[in-house]
Chains A and B, each alone.
Chain A
Amino acid sequence: EAQVTQNPRYLITVTGKKLTVTCSQNMNHEYMSWYRQDPGLGLRQIYYSMNVEVTDKGDVPEGYKVSRKEKRNFPLILESPSPNQTSLYFCASSTLEQAGGHETQYFGPGTRLLVL
């Protein structure tokens, strides 16, 4: 089954404790992206990657890191989480053609993060 998986689905942590949210897709997609969604602010892109070893900043990259060492994985790293990073996070993937045309992007189930 074609899917994007994220782990963990729910996470409560404390300020400053490094964490990683994993994202994996099994569709051989070149394009992967991370978003955060907050009430009243909508969906905002954090980082995206157009292929292995190619990453770029989205609209809200501060406080986040990503890596793309393998095509299927695109982990999101919070080196020193802060309460303003409490949010719902989505990972997405697609082919380059789909990404460029703003068409189907496959989204993971979301990770709900609470930073105390």
Chain B
Amino acid sequence: DAKTTQPTSMDCAEGRAANLPCNHSTISGNEYVYWYRQIHSQGPQYIIHGLKNNETNEMASLIITEDRKSSTLILPHATLRDTAVYYCIVRERYDSWGKLQFGAGTQVVVTP
């Protein structure tokens, strides 16, 4: 059961902000939004997560709409190293202890 939908792919120019959308219209009140990315054939990398408030860390910002039915991951200044598949997932914390499950994700290509 797909809880999130993301565009299949998107391009971004180096140095510009990359805005990655994610729809999660059936999200429940206890579910968090998590973002991970996977650079080709490397292990997944945690980026950020949030419940309802916008969040920012050294890697990215997460903007969650007020109704929580969608969110946007923002990479403020994309670099070539940000080329990766980005995964948006929603789940409760401490659910399925430690197990990561990804859908198809968005292939982001950052171009010079």
Contact = CB atoms under 8 A, between A and B. Distances in A.
Contact of A94 (B93, B98, B101): B98
Contacts of B93: 100-102
Interface of A: 4, 31, 33, 35, 42-45, 48, 50, 58-59, 88, 90, 92, 94, 99-110, 112
Contacts of B42: 107, 109-110
Contacts of A107: 42-45
B102 A42 contact: yes
5 contacts: A45-B101, A48-B98, A90-B44, A99-B98, A102-B46
Given A42-B103, A102-B49, A50 B97 contact: yes
A42 B42 CA distance: 13
B81 interface: no
Interface size class of chain B, counting residues whose CB lies under 8 Å from the partner chain: 20 to 34
B94 A101 contact: yes
Given A42-B103, A43-B101, A88-B41, A100 B46 contact: no
A43 B45 CA distance: 13
Contacts of A94: 98
B41 A103 contact: no
Contacts of A35: 100
Interface in B48-72: 49
A100 B32 CA distance: 13
A112 B91 CA distance: 29
B44 A102 contact: no
Contacts of A44: 101
A102 B43 contact: no
A61 B102 CA distance: 18
Given A100-B94, A110-B41, A105 B99 contact: no
Nearest to B48: A103
A48 B99 CA distance: 8
Nearest to A6: B43
A100 B99 contact: no
A42 B46 contact: no
